[in-house]
Amino acid sequence: MKLVRPEKLNLLTHKELNEAWVQKVIAEDPTILGLGDLILKDKERIHTKAGRLDLLLQDAESKRRYEVEVQLGKVDESHIIRTIEYWDIERKRYPQYDHCAVIIAEDITSRFLNVISLFNGYIPLIAIQMSAYQFSKDEVSLIFTTVLDEVNLGLVEEDEETKEVTDRTYWETVKGTKQTVALADQLLEIVREFSPHLDLKYNKYYIGLAKNGQPNNFAIFRAKKSSMLLEIRLKQSPEIQDKLDNAKLDTMDYESKWGRYRIRVDKNDISKNKDLLKELMMLSYGIVADE
């Protein structure tokens, strides 16, 4: 094996490779950014009185969109403001999607990284540092490194666990019924087959799981008047969706904001699909189910 030391390029001063070239590279294969299986929705998207959004990308399997701005050289204040402005326009125009702003630059200094991080958690924001290398006369490589990932603020449910604790009677009389809360007992029995020390924990907006009072909400239950909504925290995948579809379970849209599959179940659904529900909850818990 021969060690090759590529030449690092400065795209800002390069005579041939420019921002349009970078946009073209990303547009042809958005997965190069390392943000998942993305597809191109639009390029140089016109925003009236606000300029042009460099790239609009969308997750191929969900309603997740990324407003991407590319800048050669160092990131600056106008780049940050422009990126957030485009994100805000798109989320207001298309509220049915989850939106995330993405800043790409060759040099993201610690100063601006600190500034950007102030927004993170309130504005979904990802910062990616781009590096270009030349290996030979006709071989150039682009490497994208996420230096600031999106940060979600603490989930509402996590705060409610200490401030909004209720009891079983509340769920049997206010939110659901004795019959639908009993469905949580059935699901708990399945959970205890692989984690016997977990118990139900009754919070104001959902029934969670806990061990010795400490929450472990890889799955939560929301009792309704006629059914139970089971929510399992798992990364979205076509394989899982196929299994749910084949089982003919009443699956709602994937909740990408919290990373949960939402399945409406009744007594028959639980008994008929026990093995599948156990498999999914084990995956969420961190146990690989036996084939």
Per-residue pLDDT, 121 = 65
Split the chain (291 residues) into runs of 10 and give each run's mean pLDDT. 84 89 94 90 86 90 88 88 91 88 89 74 86 86 87 50 72 92 95 93 91 88 91 90 91 81 92 94 75 37
Per-residue pLDDT, 3 = 82
Residue 156 CB neighbours (<10 A)? 12
Per-residue pLDDT, 69 = 95
Q: What is the separation of C-alpha 150 from the centre of its chain, rounded to a whole number of angstroms? A: 9
| Residues 211-240 pLDDT 10s | 888 889 999 999 998 889 999 999 888 899
Domains and CATH numbers, the chain: 7-148 (3.40.1350.10), 156-285 (3.90.1150.20)
Per-residue pLDDT, 291 = 37
| Residues 171-199 pLDDT 10s | 999 989 999 999 999 999 999 999 999 99
How much is the pTM?
Answer: 0.55
Per-residue pLDDT, 288 = 52
